[in-house]
Each structure stands twice: as structure tokens, then as C-alpha cells.
Amino acid sequence: MPFDHNDHYHRLLLRQLPPGCRTALDVGCGTGRFARRLAARGIVVDAVDPAAEAVAAARELTARELSTRELTAAAGAGERPRFRQADVTQVELPRGHYDFVSCLASLHHMPFDTVRALRESLAPGGVLVVLGCYPERSRTDWAWSLAAVPVNAAARVAVALAERVRGGRPAGPGAVRAPVAPPRMSYAETRREAAVLLPGCRMRRLLFWRYLLVHRAPDGAGAPGGAGGN
């Protein structure tokens, strides 16, 4: 696969899991790579996406991955995520239920205030993470993009070489690409909206044309996580 900016941040996102996390929702799961990583940790995962082809590929890739794990008796084999073909803005999410809600490069496909419903679906102490995309509008945006260009080029070369060693690109469900859309809300606008809808959230820029937004629901005994970021 080509160097994937979203996959590159999986480990960073997994570090945001709250202790003892048992339930998760992945919004705009695409072909399910992040949902599978959550499930491999023993988390019960609901994963939604309206794209039929992506959800079909997600189910098939999961079945393949689990059968390979069973054959190799690899450690960490978890449950399969519950993939659902659905538009998250049209489904009723359970309130106060999920320990972790993730949105990887998908929030800009829907109205930003969808985060309201995602926030309300969090259990006490639950964490909402958004790996978001934004268009370049300010000098600072352009400066970050410029800095990303050489690193991105080097990463692409490294991934292409690794692919050649492995014997080429995958075919079948492994070749399915989730739908993409250009982001419209600037980093500054997103920051302003997030401060209103997710008070106390933290937001910061990441190198590869992404931001990370983290919101922690009050745990019932204390206040939400602190503000900050750039």
C-alpha cells in the first residue's frame, strides 16, 4: 500500500485509549484497519461507514486476518469488529456507552456538529479522538505543509521499497480504497468550533496534513481534560 497518513498515526491514537477501555466506536471506518487494531486489544468495537464496498472489504479482510491468526496461533487475536453500513449522522447512537470513539479522516465528510452526538455517546471518562484533515488557509498552515513535503517523499520511497520486497501491491479486498473528500473547514475554524462543542478538548497539528483532537468526558467525579495545543 502507498504511505498512508492515517495509518501512520494509529499508534498515536491508540495511546489515547482510556485505562480499562472495553467498548469503542470507529466512525468512517473505511476498510477497517483501525477497528481491527482496537479489536485485537480485546475491545468490543462498533465500526460504521456508509460506503458499501469499504464495509464489504472490511468484513472480508477481518475474516482473513482472524483465520491467519488462528492458523499461526498469534497472540492478541481479538473479536471481530461489528461493521455496519450506515451514515453516522442518521443512526441513533447509544448515550453514555462508549469508552472510546474514533474518527480517522472522516469528520470532514459530515457536518462538524456531528461531534455532539459522538460526545454524548461517550461513557463517563470516555475519550473521543479525531484525526482530522484541514485545507491550507493561513501562513502557518502552509509552513506545516511545506515541512511535511520532504518527509512525505522519503516515507513514500521507503514504503514503495518495502512493497517491492513483499512482492507488490495487494489485490482483492486489500486493494479497496475508502472514499475521500476534500476538507473545507480550516484549522482555525475547527479549533473555534471544537472549543464550543467539546469544551476542554485538546487540539494540535500533526505533520502530515492532519490535526489531533482529544476530548475526555467527565468521569462523573471530576472535570473534563485540560485545554491547550497549538
Residues in contact with ligand SAM by the rule CB under 6 A: 6, 27-30, 34, 48-51, 54, 87-89, 104-106, 109-110, 178-180
Residue found under cell 447512537: 93
Supply the minimum distance, in Å, between the C-beta of residue 50 and ligand SAM: 5
Which residues are CB-contacts of 71 (< 8 A; sequence separation ≥ 6)?
none
CB of 26 to ligand SAM, least distance (A): 7
In whole angstroms, how far apart are CA 168 and each of 3, 100, 160, 161, 162? 14, 35, 9, 10, 9
CA-angle at 190, arms to 185 and 194, nearest 5°: 145
Name the strands in the sheet holding 202-206, side by side, starting at the edge strand that comes first in the sequence: 82-85, 44-49, 23-27, 98-104, 122-133, 210-216, 202-206
Nearer to ligand SAM, 34 or 144 (CB): 34
Indicate the length of the chain as a whole number.
230
Phi/psi for 229 (5° steps) reads 95, -170
CB nearer ligand SAM, residue 47 or residue 125: 47
- Smallest distance, ligand SAM to C-beta of residue 75, A: 25
Toward ligand SAM, which CB reaches closer, 101 or 123?
A: 101
Shortest Cβ 57–ligand SAM spacing (Å): 10
> By C-beta, is 125 or 214 nearer to ligand SAM?
214
CB nearer to ligand SAM: give 51 or 125: 51
* CB of residue 180 to ligand SAM, shortest distance in Å: 5
